[in-house]
Amino acid sequence: MKLAQATLIALIALPTLACDSGGAEYVKKMEEFAEKSCACKDAECTTKVTKEMGEWVTKNQEIVSKVKPDDTEKLTAATTKMTECMTKIATDAAGAAAK
């Protein structure tokens, strides 16, 4: 699970350094991925969402490069939400396995 979280953070943090105008589509997409992740009930689902997000970012580099510095707060919120949901799922799974 730590690898998935590190990948997620890297995928979202890197584009926040860009200075070009635009990028609203990227912000919207990251928020959608956070919602999808939070709807998951197990680690398999969150892994699938993380993979889907990575593929989308790879295919849409031109959009990723247009993120405005003003969007950093929104991207951070989406990242935080997604990470919290993934952590909860992993913690719940670990607790269930320990029973």
Average pLDDT over residues 32-43: 94
46-66 average pLDDT score: 89
Give yes or no for residue 2 having a pLDDT over 90: no
Judged against a pLDDT cut of 60, whether residue 39 lies above it is answered with yes
Crossing angle between the packed helical segments 2-13 and 43-59, to the nearest 10 degrees? 30
Note down the domain range covering 23.
2-98
pLDDT on residue 17: 42
> From CA 84, how far away is CA 81, in angstroms rounded?
5
> CA 81, CA 34: separation in Å to the nearest integer?
6
Q: Quick one: average pLDDT of 74-82?
A: 92
The first and second tokens of residue 53, run together, are 């997000």
| Strand extents, DSSP E, the chain | none
Residue with tokens 């590190």: 6
Domain count of the fold of the chain? 1
Per-residue pLDDT at 60 exceeds 50: yes
pTM greater than 0.95 (yes/no) = no
